[in-house]
Copies of this chain bind each other. A is one copy, B any other.
């Protein structure tokens, strides 16, 4: 099992031992330790969508410690959140669960076609809070992408110099894209490539649809007979687009949905060579026992204990 981690770390050959050690911590924690697979609990919805929408379905989730406990008990590889949520528990849970500090966030009280999230934390905060990684969101396709790419460059550089890992949420949106295009297979693959080229260690994208947004991409896909019909094929294309699988790509769960649908997606991610899931609303918006059972199933699919 450890061999798989060493193999993965080998892909990050220009990184210093510090960043590698922090990637190791992420890969060696929890139920999936050593499998090369990751299930991460992200809780930024209080900021991104508002507290009522996020936590009213399961009120214990208003409490910042709840998410540390959920991630720990479920055996997640890491817990990711904005500054305030981590500050409110990082001391209490120090060392017990790998943490990812999300450094930029956006709220919907003022929304725009081409938003640029606000920087709400820094590398120095991640270090003092004992985090393994920083997280940063880019919106490829947005008029503000330049701001985000350049900010990410600065932040990633500082994070890596200080031995942290860099996780990039790469979510296409903005005036350059149709609504359907945000999850189009060509666009998601492109977003994964951009994040990889910007130096991300771990890339988080949405599970792509079969839609192809760009005619230029469509032409090539057709000419080259790139198989994109099934979710598994599309995952394979996205992973391929992230340096032929030499960058960790994980997929987001999205809004609360039926379990069966999610388990099928997880199987597609696994079978397409994806590295895991980042599952927020589908876990913390349930009662905890249910959430634990749900996450256990997800992890068993990734580990192969379940088909």
A positions within 8 Å CB-CB of B? 2, 5, 9, 11, 13-25, 28, 46-47, 49-53, 55-57, 59, 62-64, 82-92, 94-96, 105, 107-112, 114, 116-122, 124-125, 127-131, 140-143, 145-146, 149-150, 153, 157, 161-163, 172, 174-177, 186-187, 189-194, 196-200, 214, 216-217, 220-221, 223-224, 226, 237, 240-241, 243-244, 246-247
Contacts and interface: CB of A to CB of B under 8 A. Distances in A.
A160 to B, nearest CB: 9
B53 A90 contact: no
A217 B50 contact: yes
A216 B125 contact: no
Contacts of A186: 50, 52
Given A16-B128, A84-B197, A85-B197, 18 more contacts: A13-B88, A14-B86, A14-B91, A16-B16, A18-B129, A20-B130, A47-B194, A47-B197, A50-B193, A53-B216, A62-B240, A63-B244, A83-B197, A83-B198, A109-B145, A109-B190, A112-B143, A119-B150
Nearest to A185: B52
A166 to B, nearest CB: 11
Nearest to A91: B13
Given A87-B199, A186-B52, A241-B62, A23 B146 contact: no
A126 to B, nearest CB: 8
Contacts of A56: 220-221, 224, 226
B46 A197 contact: yes
10 contacts: A13-B90, A14-B91, A17-B128, A21-B94, A24-B96, A47-B194, A52-B220, A52-B241, A62-B240, A83-B198
A66 B114 CA distance: 36
A90 B52 contact: no
Contacts of A246: 63-64, 88
A52 B217 contact: yes
